[in-house]
Amino acid sequence: MSLRLGDKAPNFTAQTSQGEINLYDYLGDGWGVLFSHPADYTPVCTTELGRTAALKDEFAKRNTKVLALSVDSVESHKGWINDINETQNVEVDFPIVADEDRKIAEEWDMIHPNASVSATVRSLFIIGPDKTIKLIITYPASTGRNFQEVLRVLDSLQLTAYHSVSTPADWKDGEDVVVSTAIKSEDIPAKFPKGYTEVKPYLRLTPQPNK
């Protein structure tokens, strides 16, 4: 199965480091980030889970729950969490899914045979409140994820979901955004009372509407 943006996120019930969870129940009506790891006790992934734990408040501000997945067992996860807490000076309090039979990894297209015939690649998915997939990023094993980028994309997704705008290259929360091309220039003042700048007829910038 190959997942694409806009697809319904495959639901699953699985054992985790925090007991059995159902993905949809765990996410509730909020946003979610699911990210996979090739195996426990791997160096790059240890730093990634530590960084995720350190950003707990940032994810909470965005009404976003996180969970990780590895093909190792719950007991292995728990031992690894001890190492993560010790080496990264954090407290991992989000679940790590145990996917020993690789059923979830296969359903979520996390195994890329040309990279590894058995281990999950390091995929990251953002899931919206409607349980559809909003973002897919897949990293090679040698490159750690940029979690500031994950937060930036969450900000963009949440902003553009509720306002008729998109975000330009390198945009950060609080900066100007692009008015949707579906909105006529004469209709912009009523919809965006903060004003706008017309760079080109197809490129109109306005201050971020929810700030």
Banded model confidence at residue 117, pLDDT cuts 50, 70, 90: very low
Locate the domains of the chain by residue range. 13-144, 163-206
Quick: pLDDT tens for 14-43.
Answer: 999 999 999 999 999 999 999 998 889 989
Q: What's the CATH code, domain 13-144?
A: 3.40.30.10
Coil, helix or strand at residue 15: strand
Residue type, 172: K
Give 30-97 as a 3 state SS string.
Answer: CEEEEEEECCCCCHHHHHHHHHHHHCHHHHHHCCEEEEEEECCCHHHHHHHHHHHHHHHCCCCCCCEE
The mean pLDDT of the chain is 92
Banded model confidence at residue 121, pLDDT cuts 50, 70, 90: low
- Which residue numbers are catalytic? 45
Coil, helix or strand at residue 211: coil
Quick: pLDDT tens for 130-141.
Answer: 999 999 998 887
Mean pLDDT, range 53-68, rounded to an integer: 98
Count of C-beta atoms within a 10 Å radius of residue 147: 19
Residue 146 has pLDDT above 50, yes or no: yes
CA distance 160 to 65: 20
Residue 1's pLDDT is 54
For helices 43-54 and 74-88, the axis angle rounded to 10 degrees is: 70
CA distance 186 to 138: 41
Token pair of 119 as six digits = 């281990």
Residue type, 148: Q
